Chain A
Amino acid sequence: MNDHLLVIFPHPDDEAFGVSGTIAQHTKKGAPVTYICLTLGQMGRNMGNPPFATRESLPLIRQKELENACAAVGIKDLRQFGLRDKTVEFEDEKFLADQFLAVIEEVKPARLITFYPGYSVHPDHEATARAVVRAVKGMAEMERPELLCVAFAKNSEEDLGAPHIVTDVSDVFEDKMNCIKAHKSQTQWLVDRVEKEAGMMEWVKNERFWRYPL
């Protein structure tokens, strides 16, 4: 059986917090993972004090961080779509969905992970999620991958119920932390908190997904 996992997110580091443990578990089994990352997170705000980056150098830094993060969890197939951070929702949704569909038809994933439409806060997350759903809905039912979504809006559990899948990723915790740490320009604050707060540690050790009703 094809055990390919396809992950689609708009920003480098979107994979780190909620999914990189699942990715590491997958690649450790020898199963392939394809990661479509739409932008370079060019609009990130954290420049450091004193500043280590400018608006213009940030994408170059984040490109390297993304490559290191993929290496940390064994992703060998990274597809970058070259879009601009914060503009995804203004792109043509059908065009984006067709690009996703081309990759889905190529790698034939058993599972596809993205954000949950309506419950992922950032406009790029929402636009990505909508285009993924559109792409998958365009497929014959038998051909569709299982669609697993990450939701973190405040009303997620209230509206969607408890996550359908909670994966304990303790066995790959170090790989996951290395993935998070690879996105150093974005995640230093989180790394500090994980190392100090027990609650944060528990949050990182479990990954939560909702099946999207297609």
Chain B
Amino acid sequence: MQPIQPTDVQTALDQLIGKELYLHLETTNGAYANHNNDSVLTVNAYIRNGKVTPLSGKIMGSGPYRVGLKIELGWIYAEGLTHWEIDSQGRLLMAGHDQEGRLAVALQLSSSPFDV
């Protein structure tokens, strides 16, 4: 993955508008967050292969970045994104990593289902 260049990500998002896509969306502070620090709540949300058709998509912020997608009946967004790539299968992968390189948030879009 590379550090996000917002104009490049915006170009990639633009190409996905109106297409039926598979969504991976997660945010996590790790399964051991509370084990490692009593005052922290372990939190994690996860969607693998939600089927969505974005009506519009924007990247905002000055880094870390926010990406929001408008869909027919609502919204999808992720905050804290730092890195991105189009992988070898043509999927748009975006993630937010902390200073130690740990993934904290991921937003990914693919024209075929992600592996489960």
Contacts and interface: CB of A to CB of B under 8 A. Distances in A.
Nearest to A82: B116
A102 to B, nearest CB: 23
A46 B30 CA distance: 10
Interface in B4-60: 24, 26, 28, 30-32, 35, 44, 46, 48
* Interface residue tally on B, bucketed by range: 20 to 34
Contacts of B30: 45
A48 B31 contact: no
Interface in A26-75: 43, 45-51, 54-57, 59
Contacts of A54: 1, 85, 87, 93, 95
A196 interface: no
Interface of A: 43, 45-51, 54-57, 59, 84, 86, 121-124, 153-154
Interface of B: 1, 24, 26, 28, 30-32, 35, 44, 46, 48, 83, 85, 87, 91, 93, 95, 97, 99-104, 106, 108, 114-116
Return the 6 tightest CB-CB contacts between A and B, nearest first: A49-B101, A45-B102, A51-B1, A48-B101, A45-B103, A122-B31
